[in-house]
């Protein structure tokens, strides 16, 4: 299921909710059917499912071991949830 409520950054309180996925596609295509078709690929529909603004980060330690991935706040750069 898509996420509609991404919450806010636990560090700075930045709102992590982006646009509604359906709305973005509707703006792009100017057609409701086309917007619904496109947003279904993201598990979203009209009024449900928003983009999140958090940045997905994959990293490695100094020995090139893979570290757990996390989400970073675009505002303060901290791990946001």
Residues within the interface to Zn ion (CB under 5 A): 9, 11-12, 14, 73, 75-76
Q: Which of residues 32 and 78 has its CB atom nearest to Zn ion in the complex?
A: 78
Q: Which of residues 12 and 57 has its CB atom nearest to Zn ion in the complex?
A: 12
The Cα 26–Cα 43 span in angstroms is 15
What b/e string do you get for 37-74 counting C-beta neighbours within 10 Å, with b at 16 or more?
ebbeeeebeeeebbbbbbeeeeeeeeeeeeeeeebbbe
At its nearest, how many Å lie between Zn ion and the CB of residue 79?
9
At its nearest, how many Å lie between Zn ion and the CB of residue 23?
24
At its nearest, how many Å lie between Zn ion and the CB of residue 31?
36
Q: Which of residues 46 and 79 has its CB atom nearest to Zn ion in the complex?
A: 79
Q: How many helices (H) and strands (E) does the chain have?
A: 2, 4
């Amino acid at each position: 299921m898509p996420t509609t409520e991404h919450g806010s950054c636990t560090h700075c309180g930045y709102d992590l909710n982006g646009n509604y996925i359906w709305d973005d596609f509707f703006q792009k295509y100017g057609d409701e059917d086309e917007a619904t078709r496109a947003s279904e690929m993201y598990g979203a529909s009209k009024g449900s499912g928003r983009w999140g603004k958090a940045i997905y980060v994959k990293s490695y330690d100094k020995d090139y071991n893979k570290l757990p991935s996390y989400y970073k706040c675009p505002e303060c750069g901290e791990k946001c949830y």
